[in-house]
Structure 1
Amino acid sequence: MPSPIVVCGENIFVTVRILERPARMSVNVCPMGGTPMSKPIPPLDLSWLLIESPAGTTHVGAMLLFKKPAGRAPIVREIVEAYRACKPAPPFNYVPELLGRGAPHFREVTSWDPYYHVGHLALPARASYDDLLRLVADLHEPQLDRDRPLFRCWVIDGVSDGMFAIYTKTHHSIIDGESGLKLLYAGLSTSDRRTVPTPAFALGAPAPTPHPPMPLAGRIVDSIRGAITQVEAVNQVSFGALRKVFAGLVGSHLEGSLPFAAQHAPTNEPLKIGRRFATLSLPLEEMREVGRHFGATLNDVAATVVDAGLHNYLREADRAFAHPFIAMCPVSLRADDDTAIGTRVSAMFARLGEPGASVSERIRQVVDSVATCKKELGRLSNEAAMTYAVGLVALAGLGASTHLDRIAHPACNLVISNVAGGKETRYLNSARLLGIYPVSALAASIGLNVTLASYHDNMDFGFVANAAAIDDLPQLARCAREAYEELKEAAGTQSARSKRASS
């Protein structure tokens, strides 16, 4: 066994063990053979590559937390060896080609470095859970190497209380949060047997259904139809934007989705390379019950507690924000059976609660605002909604690259996103999955991203922040939990009053 190598990141010393033994477990080896293919990069996926910078990386990831079974010392090493024996499948073997001949495209590669793409780390003895969060933040900071496949993962041993973690990151240009999470779940087992299923990066997305060659006339008709659809989409988005501009000029109260209407908040400090990461888990059924008391969805409850927690955190730090936050909320456009490679999302920009609102008032304000945004987005076709997202990402990227976002209104103050999770308990090599915490991207001077995913009985929150703007992110997560407790108490009080009134 080679000697451990001690590596110092910005936040924490970690011990890296490089496993050089050949894999001895029975696993599905997924060869990358065949003729390399190329695939055009769709506009929204291309925008994630174009707006990226060292301080504004556009990869998305997740931290999976597992509980080791008793008496299974080699469990982590077995997982690492099994993962290194599997090779990436599309889109995890894509390398972007943005310059040169032809339109920007992804090129499939036929070789990879398993020791680079699957790392094995161990926290020092007596390391805390906060040390794990700091390590994940350090791993999340750097850009992915565009000369290699656009993903990396690390299996992290030595987590407190007999746990280990897997942190993985993938570029947003090849996968969105929802499809990425589905693949992560598919790479886990529903039984606690001693097996290592094929990991997400080797499963890849299903190949598209082949279609018979289309006659020239049919291809021309399809091209014309596609062009007309795009023109209609641009018209839909443009007319809606012009209506809002006119309403703002005449002093009308703006409602619905409000991109580039936010006031500068502490979360809009210029992005630096440093990142912070924190987690929070709340009981799923209890959140639903709280929401029912206020006529609110799970997403409304989550947005309310994040909103209230952020205001409280900033007040405690003597940085109170005197305006409502505007949150960008990504909206998946995927059908349940849509497994296509790439990104299929749009977004709405919701005004959250007033700074001085109580939690009861705040959740009602959030419910009303989100409902108006949903109604507005629902009037757009899927093509228009995608065009809307492409335009906003491009504008936000332009503002960040030219520093106009420092004097103009930012696109929003924070991102709050919910990706579909799983209900069944999952396992990996007999270790039970305890939680799955999204680790999302920061870009375009938007320095706080809160993404949540449901798993089993909990809603798991992953907080990612610009370290230059929010240094103590675990404290912000604690403020959000306290806001949830207040909201739960308010829902209980309201329920008791309703029962007395009806008796």
Structure 2
Amino acid sequence: MGKKIPLMDLMWLLAETQANPIHVCGLMLFEKPKGRPQIVREIVAAYREAQPSPPFDCVPDLEVTHAPRWREASDYNPRYHVQHIALPGGARYEDLLHLVGDLHETMLDRNRPLFRIWLIDHVPGRRFALFFKMHHAIIDGVSASHRVNASLRTTRRLGVPKPLFAVDLPVRKPRPPKALIKQVLGVSSTATSQYLALLGSLRKGLWNWMGGKTEGSVPFAAHRGPMNEPVMNARSVATLSLPLKDMRRVGKHYGATLNDVAMALIDEGVHRYLEEMGQPFGHHLMAMCPVSLREEGDGSAGTKVSAVFVRLGAPESSVLERLAQVSASMSAAKDEVRNMSKETALGYAAGLMGIAGLTAVTHVDRVAPPSANLVISNIPGLERQLYLHGSPLVAAYPVSAIAVGVGLNATVISSNDRMDFGFVANGASLRKLPALAGHVEAAWHRLAGATPGR
């Protein structure tokens, strides 16, 4: 019998639709060494020789005759899961982004292991790209970052390490089992805590929607915007890299975290982008921000994440004012999650996902307040220069999932000396996404220029 699918991972499978697939993706760019025109073919050949490790060798079994479980795949076709493609001659970077959007928009085949990788040759600037797509039920942003680290080297030494889907990562040892009576009481206490946390959040969201002022994490309190239009298959994608050291310095000067700085820039960029589209948003944006619940060194598969809902800056604010507003809102929201147990936080997130999915299926989401306007996620980074078969990694852009009813995702990762931003959006309502990246970059220049000591 296969391994049982945990509740949070199951929710990703149940919430998924053809128009709104739920997978974690990443776009990595490598500099192609001179005199090695066959390097991409060599990597493809090595990847096709690798055997997937659990759960990348499994398929979901959701038959009603038994509890949902993972079942070992009966067939694995390496040529399907590891693809080699090339951009046409004269292609631009924008063509790569269009390709990534096309690859992102389709569901993974549930009759096969839930991952695919594309090695993309002839990227402008003497580069090649690696784009991976893995179902959110088997991986989250933090575990994806661990796998990227494990699948690359810290030197230019030739040779292809095991790919993301084949690396062996440590799994944190489970805590010793409690006595039976404590287990029963613990489950009851956790379930009650999850219910109360969910009920409290919904109550705050309703009060906020009615005009009351609330603090902390407030789901289902967002005003509807272009980001909340029905999600269709099309995806638009954009990327951006900013100097990590300078962003840290700016944050330190204003008593804000690196994540606060990134969120303030995204907040400013989205408002400017919507203005350019002719659809100015006259309200605070509400951001859903995933919070990792993994303990240090935990490289296990699956999803271990909760979420906070953060009110961003006032529409008319400057980027400097936004930074202060975002920092205060994020601090208050995180305080609520810190007061939850890990089990309560996971159940709370699963409950919110279930409500969001139910409102989408019944179309209640078209009249009720959205859970959020956008998702902003920060993934722990790649602190060293990394290489693949002697090729230096020059950018690593997260291209994450579109949440139910929330058609814009901005995910950031610190990568060596850069902060890499990956944007993905519902292409039916948010087009020309590179313009958003441009507005975020412009916001950075305004913030950096206003900071003394640059």
For 1:77-226, what aligned pairs fall within 5 Å after superposition? Answer: 77-206=41-170, 220-221=180-181, 223-226=183-186
**SS of match in other structure, 2:95:** helix
Matched AA of 1:427? Y
Distance of 2:112 and 2:8 partners within structure 1: 21
Deviations 1:3-41 (A, max 9, x none): xxxxxxxxxxxxxxxxxxxxxxxxxxxxxxxxxx51111
- Aligned CA distance change for structure 1 residues 387 and 410 (closer, same or farther; 3 Å): same
Distance of 1:406 and 1:348 partners within structure 2: 22
Shift of 1:402: 1.2
Quick check: 1:64 aligned with 2:28?
Answer: yes
Partner of 2:326: 366
- Aligned CA distance change for structure 1 residues 288 and 249 (closer, same or farther; 3 Å): closer
Q: Which runs of 5+ in 1 are unaligned?
A: 1-36, 497-503
Deviations 1:261-290 (A, max 9, x none): 000011111101000111000111100111
Q: Does the CA contact (< 8 Å) of 1:351 and 1:366 recur in 2?
A: yes
**149-158 or 395-404: bigger deviation:** 395-404
Q: Does the CA contact (< 8 Å) of 1:399 and 1:444 recur in 2?
A: no
Partner of 2:231: 271
CA RMSD of aligned residues (A): 2.0
Q: Does the CA contact (< 8 Å) of 1:237 and 1:387 recur in 2?
A: no
**483-492 or 455-464: bigger deviation:** 483-492
**SS of match in other structure, 2:438:** helix
Deviations 1:279-315 (A, max 9, x none): 0001111001111122111111101111101101111
Distance of 1:361 and 1:211 partners within structure 2: 44
Match of 1:381 among 328, 341, 350: 341
- Aligned CA distance change for structure 1 residues 110 and 221 (closer, same or farther; 3 Å): farther
Number of residues paired by the alignment? Answer: 454
Match of 1:356 among 303, 316, 321: 316
Q: Does the CA contact (< 8 Å) of 2:386 and 2:392 recur in 1?
A: yes
**SS of match in other structure, 2:282:** coil
**SS of match in other structure, 1:445:** coil
Partner of 2:448: 488
Partner of 1:427: 387
**SS of match in other structure, 1:450:** strand
Deviations 1:57-91 (A, max 9, x none): 10011001000111011100000000000011101
Deviations 1:434-479 (A, max 9, x none): 0110010013121100001111100100000111111100111000
Shift of 1:53: 0.5
Distance of 1:207 and 1:360 partners within structure 2: 42
Distance of 2:205 and 2:15 partners within structure 1: 25
Quick check: 1:307 aligned with 2:271?
Answer: no
Partner of 2:249: 289
Distance of 1:167 and 1:480 partners within structure 2: 23
Partner of 1:231: 191
Partner of 1:257: 217
**SS of match in other structure, 2:165:** helix
Quick check: 1:46 aligned with 2:10?
Answer: yes
**SS of match in other structure, 1:461:** strand
Distance of 2:171 and 2:3 partners within structure 1: 12
**SS of match in other structure, 1:195:** coil
Distance of 1:420 and 1:207 partners within structure 2: 18
**SS of match in other structure, 1:387:** helix
TM-score by length of 2: 0.96
Q: Which runs of 5+ in 2 are unaligned?
A: none
Distance of 2:101 and 2:117 partners within structure 1: 13
Partner of 2:307: 347
Distance of 1:461 and 1:386 partners within structure 2: 26
Distance of 1:377 and 1:208 partners within structure 2: 22
**SS of match in other structure, 1:259:** coil
Partner of 2:286: 326
Deviations 1:311-358 (A, max 9, x none): 011111211011010000000011112223211111000000111111
Q: Percent identity?
A: 49
Distance of 2:430 and 2:109 partners within structure 1: 27
Distance of 2:136 and 2:335 partners within structure 1: 27
Partner of 1:6: none
Deviations 1:198-254 (A, max 9, x none): 111011544675999x9xxx7844651452243242244146336626855985411
TM-score by length of 1: 0.87
Matched AA of 1:409? P
Q: Does the CA contact (< 8 Å) of 1:178 and 1:419 recur in 2?
A: yes
- Aligned CA distance change for structure 1 residues 228 and 256 (closer, same or farther; 3 Å): same
Quick check: 1:414 aligned with 2:374?
Answer: yes
Q: Does the CA contact (< 8 Å) of 1:284 and 1:454 recur in 2?
A: yes
Distance of 1:355 and 1:299 partners within structure 2: 20
Shift of 1:490: 1.6
Q: Does the CA contact (< 8 Å) of 1:334 and 1:344 recur in 2?
A: yes
